[in-house]
Amino acid sequence: MSKSISGFSKLSKAKKIDWIVDTYFSNSEEAKTIIKQYWNTDEKIQQLHDEFIENTITNYYLPLGVAPNFLINGKLHTIPMAIEESSVVAAASKAAKFWLDRGGFKTEVISTTKIGQVHFMYRGDFNKLKTFFEQVKPKLFSDTASITKNMESRGGGITAIELRDKTNDISGYYQLHVSFETLDAMGANFINSCLEQFAKTFKNEAQTFNLFSEEEKQIEIVMSILSNYVPDCLVRAEVSCNVEDLSESQTISGEAFAHKFVQAVNIAEIEPYRAVTHNKGIMNGIDAVVLATGNDFRAIEAGVHAYASRKGRYSSLTHASVEDGKFKFWIEIPLALGTVGGLTKLHPLVKLALELLHHPSAKELMQIVAVAGLAQNFAALRSLTTTGIQQGHMKMHLMNILNQFGANDDEKQVLTEHFKSHTVSHNAVSEALNKLRSTGA
């Protein structure tokens, strides 16, 4: 039976595990064995993992795969992807190979501005607040000089501070809306440190502003925090070719394929039920690279989906067209990424992934990640509009099903060959495996 515990965080790792397995598992020794199986045999590496978060008991592994043959702005890349879902890496690789012979991917970073906000409450005359803001603005910059010095020396820093009136939404609610350039750093700690200093300066200076009444001086700071919505940290990736060059086989012409493909994208642009699944497929590619490079995929997800809703309706992140015999497929997406700081200098596999990508800058990584998302979407739509999504997906899923049934290596070899010409389903694999075992073949 579950029970509460006091001082859990102060226990040693061994005692934490003992309490967990004794409290929650019927076979405590088996549970403990599984937990220890995933420890790194290198004690230094394991200690590093233990110190990433609190209350660590073991490591949770995801496969790290690679998708080769990505030609991006004339440069070849092999892209690392950390993901557990079947067929994602294969689909990305297939899309990369398809476009390798058709000019590859073209990308550009449109803007790199990141946002942070100080949220505060003020009860008083807005004109007085505006006057106070203009007066205190230089001090906001000077009081953060020690924080911004290093970032400014590299060409980044605070680029703008605005006072925003949000009282139409919440009575008495205002913001300091701040724009930042953080270069190769994701910059969360930098941004939050600046914002907290802004809040302190703003509140303190209000106490001596002679136009404020006593009530108006009592500015209430609610919170100071960066935003993961970064519509001005934007990257574009696209592919294009002549319509006739889209044809790979006799099953569908390039013209017919282009027509169906554009229709599929148009549907995702106007139908939220389709758009969510459409964009989820894009994020299969994006999240996998973001995770492999030690970035925050949850922040990326939140910002991307907010961007997909920016016009008041959730819509496709990708777009397609056919004009004058030319097929074009593109994505514009907000990606606030970093290649310095955080896990990039700590996690050995993150360092390896970044080296695999030729040590990209944050801007270069934005472009690579956008390409991964576009490639993933192309592969999915290509399957959906031709053979159907399940044919390729279930063949990739075959090994997972065989592992669920405990198939040995010989059985896997026979059934992999069998399902090259048969439809894969959970039931079909079960029947084929039972038949194989019953015949002793």
Helices 362-384 and 272-292 cross at an angle (nearest 10°) of: 140
Reply yes or no on whether 431 is catalytic.
no
Greatest extent of the chain over all pairs of C-alpha atoms, in Å: 94
**Given the structure tokens 């990141």, which residue do they identify?**
114
119 is an active site residue:
no
The 3-state DSSP class for residue 162 equals strand
- Give the DSSP letter string of 311-340: TSS---SEEEEEETTEEEEEEEEE----SB
Six-digit token string for 102: 């058709």
CA 180 to chain centre: 20
What are the two backbone dihedrals, phi and then psi, of residue 326, each rounded to the nearest 5 degrees? -115, 125
Q: Which of 97, 106, 137, 280 is an active site residue?
A: 280
217's tokens:
């001086």
Strands 173-181 and 233-242: unpaired
Active site residue 51: no
How far apart (Å, rounded) are the C-alpha atoms in residues 209 and 280?
51
The tokens describing 4, both together, are 């509460």
Per annotation, catalytic residue among 18, 85, 216, 411: 85
Residue 87 is classified by DSSP as T
Catalytic residue among 49, 77, 278, 393: 393
Residue in 95, 98, 68 with CA at minimum distance from that of residue 81:
68
Which residues, 6+ apart, have CB-to-CB distance to 386 below 8 Å?
Answer: 251, 252, 257, 260
Amino acid at 154: R
Say which of 143, 184, 287, 296 is annotated catalytic.
Answer: 296
Residue 278 appears among annotated catalytic residues: no
CA dihedral 361, 364, 368, 369 (to 10 degrees): 70
Distance CA 90, CA 285 (A): 11
Closest CA to 66 of 52, 42, 82, 51: 82
- The residues that are catalytic are 85, 280, 296, 393
